[in-house]
Copies of this chain bind each other. A is one copy, B any other.
Amino acid sequence: MPRNRRPRDREEKSAEIVAAAATLFTDVGFEKTSLVSVAKVAGVTTNTIYWYFESKEALLVAVLDHLLAEALHGVDEQAETPLVDRLLWVVGRLDERAKLVTTVHALATTSPVVEAWHDGFHAVTNEILADGLRQSGIPEEQVVPMTRLGVFAIEGLLMHPLPEAEQRAVLRLALDGPR
């Protein structure tokens, strides 16, 4: 029982693993990142990862939670700017993580853990976008399909890089319609 092992060691170690995984997953990609390389960066052994996380996919979910919290930090201060700009801001922040967007969709069809995270993520983002639309005075029966189209547009923009002017054109079209 060494006295230098403080009680927050657990969260620290786990946080280091998540941080290492977050960098590698976004840069190298989830599939191409081996747990050995995650362990190396985090300064632990492969098996240690399994003490903290049930599987590689469970580690991915922890990474996603971490990045989401990070990405959402600051979205509140933007409550005053127009909806289109707010969405554009979100797209800009998520752009470096684009690789993970496709990874999540690919894994959601086979991995229950990832599927659960994906469903929860959509529930949250749908709610945020739907609220924004209602406050813009969109008639209630159009809120649901427009929310869906808006989310599809955001996902599409993340998966297919485009200059910002064209991103804006697509989002405006999705929210305001032609003209």
Interface residues of A (CB under 8 A from B): 29, 31-32, 98-99, 102-103, 105-106, 108-110, 122, 138, 142, 144-146, 148-149, 151-153, 155-157, 159-160, 162, 166, 169-170, 172-174, 176-179
Number of chain copies forming the complex: 2
Contact A148 B170 (CB under 8 A): yes
26 A-B residue pairs with Cβ-Cβ distance under 8 Å, sorted by A, are: A29-B109, A32-B110, A102-B105, A105-B105, A105-B106, A106-B106, A138-B178, A142-B178, A144-B166, A144-B169, A145-B166, A148-B162, A148-B166, A149-B149, A149-B156, A149-B174, A152-B153, A152-B156, A152-B160, A153-B153, A155-B155, A155-B159, A174-B174, A176-B177, A176-B178, A177-B179
A29: chain B residues at CB < 8 Å are 109-110
Q: Which of B106, B149, B177, B178 contacts A153 (CB 8 A)?
A: B149
A159: chain B residues at CB < 8 Å are 105, 155
A155: chain B residues at CB < 8 Å are 152, 155-156, 159
A152: chain B residues at CB < 8 Å are 152-153, 155-157, 160, 170
A169: chain B residues at CB < 8 Å are 144-145
Q: Say what secondary structure dominates the interface of chain A.
A: helix
